[in-house]
Structure 1
Amino acid sequence: MTETQEIERPIKDAMLRGWRRRCPSCGSGPMLSGYLKVRESCPVCKEELHHHRADDGPAYVTILIVGHLMAPMLMWAFVKFQPDPWILSTVFTVGCVTLSLYLLPRLKGVFVAIQWAKRMHGFGLPANG
């Protein structure tokens, strides 16, 4: 292998590690230091993670998924059970918030992992360069 060839980074493995909120490189170190704050580097393998540019991507995808799951369920529940509007709105508000809080950090991990696997935004640079 020449110096210009780079070791392949499997995107599927990286995405699964990101979903588990683990380092996309080693899979054992925690990626996040808080609910959504990405660590500067992995405490286990020392892979730099500060290059990420997830921005609003995880939030948009979270809204897309929650909306596409909950809107049909809302219509189904309304037609099938005809509950009181307060009950319906309360149940679906709690459901939407809970699902959003569950998905958001996992999708952020996936976004960072994709960027790492594709060597985007500085993830492909040598450690000393």
Structure 2
Amino acid sequence: MMRSYLDVRPHCTVCREDLRQTEGNDVPIFLTIILVALIMVPLSHVILAKLRPDPLILLTGFAVGCAALGLYLLPRLKGVILAYHWAKD
């Protein structure tokens, strides 16, 4: 279904169904932001309360973790939204 990181193929490679009408718009981005925040904020709070790391180390780890989790989740959530959109049509 996906041609590259976030591009949707114009046709399905198996059944040749037209996929140009399916659009995810901004929903996957919003879901990614919400999920990353719901995972990383409590995790950073627990790490700060239990381990008491240097603030610069915590900030670096939080930034890298947020970026990695966001890059991992975004194409998967876009696929979920496109599949839901396709199923409802």
TM-score, normalising length: structure 1? 0.67
Report whether the alignment pairs 1:78 with 2:48: yes
2:11 to 24, 41, 44: 41
Deviation at 1:47, TM superposition (A): 1.1
Corresponding residue number in structure 2 for 1:110? 80
Distance 1:115 1:56 in 2: 13
Residue identity (%):
48
Runs of 4+ deviating beyond 6 Å: none
Based on CA coordinates, which of the two structures has the bigger radius of gyration? 1
Query: Residue deviations 1:38-81, cap 9 Å, x none?
Result: 01011121011111121110000000000001000111111111
Question: Could you say what secondary structure the match of 1:69 adopts?
Answer: helix
Distance 1:44 1:104 in 2: 24
Partner letter of residue 70 of structure 2?
S
More helix by share: 2
Distance 1:110 1:41 in 2: 17
Task: Tell me the number of residue pairs that the alignment of Structure 1 and Structure 2 aligns.
Answer: 89
Distance 2:6 2:23 in 1: 13
TM-score, normalising length: structure 2? 0.96
CA RMSD between the two structures? 0.7
5+ long unaligned stretches in structure 2: none
Question: Could you say what secondary structure the match of 1:58 adopts?
Answer: helix
Partner letter of residue 90 of structure 1?
T
